[in-house]
Structure 1
Amino acid sequence: MALLRWRVGFFVLFLVCVGMLGFALYHQFYQWLMPCLLCVYERMIVIVLGLLSLLAAIWQPATRRGVLTFSGLYALIALWGAGITVWHLLIQFGPKESGVSCASSLPFPIDLNAIPGWIAAVIRPVGDCSVVDFTLFGMSMPFWLLIAFIGFLLPLSMLTRIRLIEIRRRGL
């Protein structure tokens, strides 16, 4: 039963990540809201969390050390995403410095000319991080991503706890 909870739980988290990416791509390609550099970093973290969730839905660590290592990595990446969204919110709502934007302050680590065009279109930073061009219920996209990244930690902790109890019960 714990195996089913682990796999279904992480598959649901994978579907959440797919939904988040679909929402972002819809707004990019149909509403013409171009992502800024921090948006692209946040998007890549959602992709990594989605891939880790899919991996966990397929593979289940059998030892306590494996569960803790996987959960720690997952939590670290989710917290890294939360940190980037906090930085993004500070750029959007903090004091404005003249001539400073996130696009000019961070290097982009991928040569977009070396990858296929459709992938480059998804991760090409075009917008300005300080501009709030999308709100949902009065909150900007980084705010919702912050809630999502922190929200990933609750099911992660529950699934980890369930799996550790199962491992202890089986004596692995």
Structure 2
Amino acid sequence: MNLFRWRAGFGVLFIACSGMIAFALYHQFYEWLMPCLMCVYERIALIGFGLTALLAAIIPPKTRSGVYAWCTVLTGWALFGAVTGVRHVWLQYGPKDPTVSCAASLPFPIDLNALPGWIAAVIRPVGDCSNIDFMLFGVTLPAWIIVACVGLIAATWWLARRQLAEIRRNQWR
């Protein structure tokens, strides 16, 4: 029964990440809010978490080390997104320093000309990281990314705890 909970839980986390990316793409292509470099890194973190969660749902662990391996990788993706979100919020609300810009703070490691056009359009950094272009319920989107990533970490380890308890229970049968 707990294997179903593991699969369903990580399936829901995959759908949540897909929904967040769909929300970002809607605002990019229909509201013309172009992503900055930090937004692109946050998107990459959510895409990485979502795809890893999908793999975890398809290939559930049978051992304790498998549970810890999946959850460590997922936590890494979510921490990458949360740390990027913190840096993005700092660029938006921190002291304005003309020498620090979004493009100069982190290099973009992917050659976008080598990718298909639709992928390059999704992850092409255009905007300025210090601008606040959109707020949802009075909170900027990078702050929502931090909240979402912390929630993803909490959900991941809650599912891990349940799976570890099931493994421990089956070990003594």
TM-score bracket, shorter-length normalisation:
over 0.9
Shift of 1:156: 0.8
Alignment of 1:104-143 (within 5 A): 104-143=104-143
Alignment of 1:14-163 (within 5 A): 14-163=14-163
Q: Distance in 1 between matches of 2:53 and 2:122?
A: 21
Shift of 1:99: 4.3
Q: Distance in 2 between matches of 1:73 and 1:21?
A: 20
Shift of 1:105: 2.3
Cα-to-partner distance string for 1:105-163 (whole Å, 9 max, x where unaligned): 22110000001000000000000000000101111100101000001012111110111
**More displaced 10-residue stretch of structure 1: 74-83 or 158-167:** 74-83
Tell me the C-alpha RMSD between the 2 structures: 1.0
SS in 2 for 1:33: coil
Shift of 1:78: 0.9
Unaligned stretches of 5+ in structure 2? none
SS in 2 for 1:98: coil
The answer to whether the 8 Å contact 2:46/2:77 transfers is no
In the superposition, the TM-score normalised over structure 1's length comes to 0.97
Q: Distance in 2 between matches of 1:90 and 1:105?
A: 12
Matched-pair identity in %? 58
Residue aligning to 2:168: 168
Cα-to-partner distance string for 1:30-73 (whole Å, 9 max, x where unaligned): 00000000000000000000001100111101110111111112
Cα-to-partner distance string for 1:5-47 (whole Å, 9 max, x where unaligned): 0000000000000100000000000000000000000000000
Unaligned stretches of 5+ in structure 1? none
Q: Distance in 2 between matches of 1:25 and 1:80?
A: 20
